[in-house]
Amino acid sequence: MDFLPKPISAEQIYSCLALHLGVEFERARGASEETVWGSWAGPPVRIPGDLYAQLTTAAELHSTTALKRCQQQLRLLGPDGQRLGQHIRHLMRSYDMEGILRLIEAAALPSRGTGQSDHAFATAEEPAS
């Protein structure tokens, strides 16, 4: 019996089925599922720093409940936040928490604070002349 560790990729399943059942699969041409959902195309999504921390902590602790709560907050950030939430949801289906962490690092740009204007923080940190 073959052991398939999480996260399980579709390619691993197809290989096992082909090996044990002697079947061949017709594969569609184009990007693989992992390439589409495991990577981020486009500019980073600016999200509040506390949400960024919640996302990374939830993925590190393998907490799907906390990730679902974070997805609700991402939806409120507009189309880019919604798209990031969709990527996370897809990776959650295969319980790919490492993939979620990589995605967050690549796609999310934490802003300081809890959604307040970054300008207020930038002026407060400027060195005195």
Specify the range with the lowest mean pLDDT, choosing from 21-25, 38-42, 118-122. Answer: 118-122
The reported pLDDT for the residue numbered 32 is: 47
Question: Is the predicted pLDDT of residue 114 greater than 60, yes or no?
Answer: no
Residues recorded for the chain:
129
**Average confidence (pLDDT) over 21-46:** 68
**Average confidence (pLDDT) over 10-31:** 75
Please tell me the pTM assigned to this model: 0.60
Residues 71-92: tens digit of each pLDDT: 999 999 999 999 999 999 999 9
Sequence-distant (6+) residues with CB within 8 A of 22 are none
CA gap 22, 15 in Å, rounded: 10
The reported pLDDT for the residue numbered 113 is: 56
Give the torsion sign (CA, 14, 92, 5, 103). Answer: positive
Report which secondary-structure segment, H or E, holds 14. helix 10-21
The secondary structure of 52-86 as a DSSP string is HHHHHHHHHTT-HHHHHHHHHHHHTT-HHHHHHHH
